Amino acid sequence: MKLVQLATARSGDKGNHANIVVVARWASAFAWLQDHLTCQRVAEFFGGLQPTRVERFVLPNVQAFNFVLYDVLDGGGSLSLRSDTQGKLLGTAILDLPCDGAPLETLSS
């Protein structure tokens, strides 16, 4: 199972840092993600971008998480030579994160 089956996501930038908001599709998915979608997991998934730190903010009223990935944009929009200098594709990328072990009820309830 992939994260896309449990959530949607959007992303953006602030200078050299990116943020990714992951919004659970259902309350049961939010509950499972709260325990399994950790800073460490996100840092490992984006390891190739070498984040110096990942911070997670839990937004329970909207069943979402905001992750801030520090120093992943190689200088940011005006300095980086990367194709995604503003982190816009990171939200799409995180949806490919494996969520093996998520119970089936997270898919519909």
Residue (of 109, 99, 91, 95) closest to 1 by Cα position: 99
Print the domain residue range for 44: 3-76+84-99
**Burial of 22 from C-beta contacts in 10 A (0-12 / 13-18 / 19+):** buried
Token code pair at residue 15: 């200078």
In a domain, 104, yes or no: no
Total domains in the chain come to 1
In a domain, 107, yes or no: no
In a domain, 93, yes or no: yes
In a domain, 37, yes or no: yes
Q: Give the model's pLDDT for residue 87.
A: 52
In a domain, 108, yes or no: no
pTM of the model: 0.87
pLDDT band of residue 73 (cuts 50, 70, 90) is: confident
Q: Give the model's pLDDT for residue 108.
A: 64
pLDDT band of residue 102 (cuts 50, 70, 90) is: confident
How much of the chain is in helix, strand and coil states, percent to nearest 5?
A: 30, 30, 40
- Out of 14-23, 58-67, 73-82, 83-92, pick the least confident: 73-82
